[in-house]
């Protein structure tokens, strides 16, 4: 798909789907399910790498996971999430990082969280023909500076500021906007005001589409569960049962059985045994 296809989808009223993936098998599952956009999120830091926040994720780690996702779903529309390291060291560093997502990892676009320098970075990326998705509302990379992980734009003034930022970003040429943890009515107004598709996460049902973390919806991440997450499976329980059964069978000698074992030709086995005498 092209970025223009998502704008056309909004005009036609087709709701868009987006999920995270950090590896090839997950990407393959999402692609086979027809998910519109796959986000290689910096959430990988907390979900897979054990970091306390997303800010510790390095650009090299992001590229490593983005490459894996592309191998699993080479035809998918993959978005690389610009990590804190990539956007906190100036426009030149940000541009080089974004170019790595496109040239090295095969991504189709990048996502940038709102910051003091995001508009300047966006201009540089768009000038170099790198599609950009903006991210407003709760921005995990700067959450601690903005009062922590909480709902944003709850006051009229803050909501108006968010709308103006969204419009300014859109005017630069971003192809889509992600809104995280904002009141339903605010997200609804922003969605209606913008011509580009607005993807929501904890922003209500009036957005042009939704995004969630894959490990959240299948029950593979259990450290905490945000209010906006709906679990569609409890894979961690299923996997724990499988591991328990494996350990039990090994300990009582039931695995491997004859079905999981390899055997020599009978004549070769007899010849081998004769040489042991």
Cite the active site residues: 180
Return the bridge partners of 109, or none.
79
Dist CA 70 CA 96 (whole Å) = 19
Closest by Cα among 113, 112, 173 to 137? 113
């Amino acid at each position: 798909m092209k970025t223009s296809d998502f704008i056309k989808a909004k005009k036609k009223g087709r709701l868009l789907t987006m999920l995270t993936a950090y590896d090839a098998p997950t990407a393959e599952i999402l692609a086979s399910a027809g998910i519109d956009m796959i986000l290689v999120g910096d959430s990988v830091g907390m979900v897979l790498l054990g970091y306390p926040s997303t800010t510790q994720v390095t650009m090299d780690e992001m590229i490593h996971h983005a490459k894996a996702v592309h191998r699993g779903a080479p035809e998918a529309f993959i978005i690389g999430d610009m990590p804190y390291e990539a956007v906190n060291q100036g426009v030149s560093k940000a541009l080089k990082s974004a170019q790595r997502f496109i040239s090295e990892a095969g991504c189709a676009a990048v996502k940038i969280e709102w910051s003091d320098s995001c508009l300047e970075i966006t201009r540089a990326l768009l000038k170099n023909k790198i599609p950009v998705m903006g991210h407003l509302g709760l921005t995990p990379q700067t959450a601690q500076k903005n009062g922590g992980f909480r709902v944003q734009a709850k006051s009229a003034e803050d909501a108006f500021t968010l709308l103006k930022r969204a419009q300014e970003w859109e005017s630069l040429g971003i192809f889509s906007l992600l809104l995280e943890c904002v009141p339903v009515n605010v997200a609804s107004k922003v969605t209606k005001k913008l011509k580009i598709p607005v993807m929501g996460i904890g922003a209500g049902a009036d957005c042009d589409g939704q995004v969630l973390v894959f490990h959240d919806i299948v029950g593979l991440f259990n450290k905490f569960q945000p209010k906006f997450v709906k679990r569609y499976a409890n894979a961690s329980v299923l996997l724990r049962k499988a591991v328990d059964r494996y350990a039990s069978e090994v300990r009582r000698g039931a695995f491997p059985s004859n079905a999981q074992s390899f055997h020599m030709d009978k004549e070769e086995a007899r010849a081998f045994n004769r040489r042991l005498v």
